[in-house]
Structure 1
Amino acid sequence: MDLKLSWKYGFAFFALNDVISELHEQSHMATNWLIYGCFGPRDFNNVHGCAGMDGFALAAGIAGPLFSYLVMWAGVWVLMRAATPAGRSMGFTLVFAPLPFARIFTALMGGGDERGFLAKLLEGAVTVPQSRWLAVAMTLLLCGPPIWFAWRALAKPRRGTIIAGFCVMPLLVVFAYKFVVLNGLLARGVLAEPVIFGTPAFVVVVFVLALVATAAWWAWLQGLERQPVVPAQAGTHADAELAAAPLHD
């Protein structure tokens, strides 16, 4: 693959990331609701357990990452099987839109859903540092191969730089845009009242806008791979003979 990056693709990518990110959080909440029958407080990237309960149900803690892993691996499947530039573009996008490197990086920093899940699953059997490194191993095992498949799909001259960019740049943009700006507005009370499934109105509005933008800009997501240049077709043999034939009055 030879990629053609553009501002249009960037906007579409982050719209899709917003959709996937919110579905990740809703996976946590829906699973916890099925088990406990209640919703806890939340913002754009953190969901908490129900009031008076000790965090999430075990299954709810891993439900969000499982959804993200499913999207990544679906991207690998599409990328490996697609026969068109549009299909390969979508496969590559689906690998990175759930931010696989962010899952690895967060585990390395000692946070993330995976660490919380493993700490609770293995409570009493492992120490906190051990649960951290088990989470790092888990994220590397599940997020590393999709990144590697995407790297393998790229043309050689720039693939290391492109993969590094797709790992790091979305992490920086999402941190500034979502964690700082959107969570900051929500913390100040902007549309902070829960309206559906325990989700604040502000989060719902952003999700709906992202969903509409993803649908409207879907063609931009399919245009990531540079189209091959088709050489001009030479004239037919008959045309060549006609052009070479002498003219008679």
Structure 2
Amino acid sequence: MIKIKITWKYCLAFYSIIMLYASLHELVHHFSGYFICGDWGQKTFNYFETACEQDPKSLIATYIGPIFSFIMMYVGAHFLTHKSSDYKKHLGFAIIFAQLPLQRMISPFFKMNDEFYATAQLFGDSAFIYWSVIIIIWLICLPPLIKAYRSIENKHKLIWFLFYLVLFPYILWGPIFGMLEFLMVEKKFLAQPIIGIGLLFIINEVITILGYYFVKKYINPYYQ
């Protein structure tokens, strides 16, 4: 069980975790695309394209990003076991929601996610594919989310759970992520690519890793 307490230091730690895993999700796309295609594709904060986009095997790179995020959700759920330290439990809880599970679960309804795009490319955009993708994603996401819900010790645990699922990660991380994408893509600020990745993305990744190293201890809000 964990007792949620939001402090400004906790927000810094949680932000760093969200940005770290959002970036890793994108880098998993990009590097797997390199190994599949034999050359670098293009990568912004919120978009990737492989070097062999017309080859169906490039869709493997599309799937690998969500697979990474799903695995991390289960790693987070594992950290919530009763044998874990308080720090590890809070970290596990944060890792689950850092994968932005609501986005993974809701976007396929609008045919907007990696999972739906790749599956529709392979098997066609039919009602069967549409609902199959949605059901599979929900079946994958629900167990770690249920584990996270049950781990909350605070009163009004459903409100806390919905706050993390629907709002908190997005208001903490979303505006900065969107601003960085806008600066690099629309304003061409530090947009020059290195191994297909915009320089601003690389700089942000370095800052995120350093920030995470220094503030990760505060993901346990009771750290002294």
Provide TM-score, normalisation by structure 1: 0.81
- Return the alpha-carbon distance in structure 2 between the equivalents of residues 204 and 130 of structure 1: 40
Contact 1:111–1:132 (CA<8 Å) still a contact in 2? no
Deviations 1:10-37 (A, max 9, x none): 1111111111111111111111111111
Within the alignment, does 1:146 sit opposite 2:144 as a pair?
Answer: yes
- Return the alpha-carbon distance in structure 1 between the equivalents of residues 183 and 171 of structure 2: 19
Contact 2:34–2:41 (CA<8 Å) still a contact in 1? no
Name the amino acid aligned to 1:95. Answer: I
Match of 2:81 in 1: 80
Q: Count residues with an aligned counterpart.
A: 220
Match of 2:180 in 1: 182
The within-5 A match list for 1:1-249 is: 1-50=2-51, 53=54, 57-123=58-124, 127=126, 129-155=127-153, 157-169=155-167, 170-179=169-178, 181-187=179-185, 188-195=187-194, 197-223=195-221
Name the amino acid aligned to 1:144. Answer: L
Contact 2:37–2:52 (CA<8 Å) still a contact in 1? no
- Return the alpha-carbon distance in structure 1 between the equivalents of residues 133 and 48 of structure 2: 19
Contact 1:22–1:207 (CA<8 Å) still a contact in 2? yes
- Quote how far apart the aligned CAs of 1:91 are: 1.4
Q: In structure 2, do the counterparts of structure 1 residues 174 and 138 end up closer, same or farther at CA, with 3 Å as the change threshold?
A: farther
Single out whichever of 142-151 and 38-47 deviates more from structure 2.
38-47
Contact 2:19–2:173 (CA<8 Å) still a contact in 1? no
SS at match of 2:49: coil
Q: In structure 2, do the counterparts of structure 1 residues 56 and 174 end up closer, same or farther at CA, with 3 Å as the change threshold?
A: farther
SS at match of 1:118: helix
Q: In structure 2, do the counterparts of structure 1 residues 45 and 215 end up closer, same or farther at CA, with 3 Å as the change threshold?
A: same
Q: Give the CA RMSD over aligned residues.
A: 2.0
Q: Could you say which structure has the larger radius of gyration?
A: 1
SS at match of 1:192: coil
Q: In structure 2, do the counterparts of structure 1 residues 61 and 184 end up closer, same or farther at CA, with 3 Å as the change threshold?
A: same
Contact 2:80–2:92 (CA<8 Å) still a contact in 1? yes
- Quote how far apart the aligned CAs of 1:162 are: 0.9
Q: In structure 2, do the counterparts of structure 1 residues 175 and 87 end up closer, same or farther at CA, with 3 Å as the change threshold?
A: closer
Gaps of 5+ in 1: 228-249
- Quote how far apart the aligned CAs of 1:156 are: 5.9
Single out whichever of 157-166 and 100-109 deviates more from structure 2.
100-109
Gaps of 5+ in 2: none
- Return the alpha-carbon distance in structure 2 between the equivalents of residues 106 and 69 of structure 1: 15
- Quote how far apart the aligned CAs of 1:130 are: 3.9
- Quote how far apart the aligned CAs of 1:72 are: 0.8
Contact 1:49–1:55 (CA<8 Å) still a contact in 2? no
- Return the alpha-carbon distance in structure 2 between the equivalents of residues 164 and 13 of structure 1: 16
